[in-house]
Amino acid sequence: MTEPSGRAIAVVSVHASPLSELGRGENGGMNLGVRRLCEGLAERGVPSDVFVRRDDPDLPAERLIAPGSRLVLLDVGPPRPLPKEDLVALLDPFADAMLAHAASEKRRYRLIHAHYWLSGPPARRARDRLGIPWVQSFHSLARMKAAAGSPPTSSAGPSRRSWPPPATGSWP
Collect all residues with Cβ–Cβ distance below 8 Å to 134 and sequence separation of at least 6. Answer: 111, 112, 113, 114, 123, 124, 126, 127
Task: For residues 159 and 168, give the distance between their C-alpha atoms in angstroms, rounded to a whole number.
Answer: 18
Res 159: pLDDT: 45
Contact between residue 116 and residue 16 where contact means Cβ atoms under 8 Å apart? yes
Rounded to two decimals, what is the model's pTM? Answer: 0.77
Q: Which among 8, 5, 2, 12 has a CA at the least distance from the CA of 126?
A: 12
Domain boundaries of the chain, sorted by first residue: 8-147
Res 147: pLDDT: 64
Res 17: pLDDT: 74
Sheet holding 69-74, edge to edge: 62-66, 69-74, 48-53, 8-12, 109-115, 134-137
The highest-level CATH class for domain 8-147 is alpha beta
- In whole angstroms, how far apart are CA 109 and each of 57, 76, 102, 106, 156? 28, 22, 9, 10, 29
Q: What is the pLDDT along the chain (172 residues), one digit of tens a residue?
A: 333 445 899 999 987 776 666 455 555 456 677 778 888 888 999 999 999 999 999 999 999 988 999 999 999 999 999 988 899 999 999 999 999 999 999 999 999 999 878 889 999 999 999 999 999 887 655 555 566 665 655 544 554 444 445 554 444 4
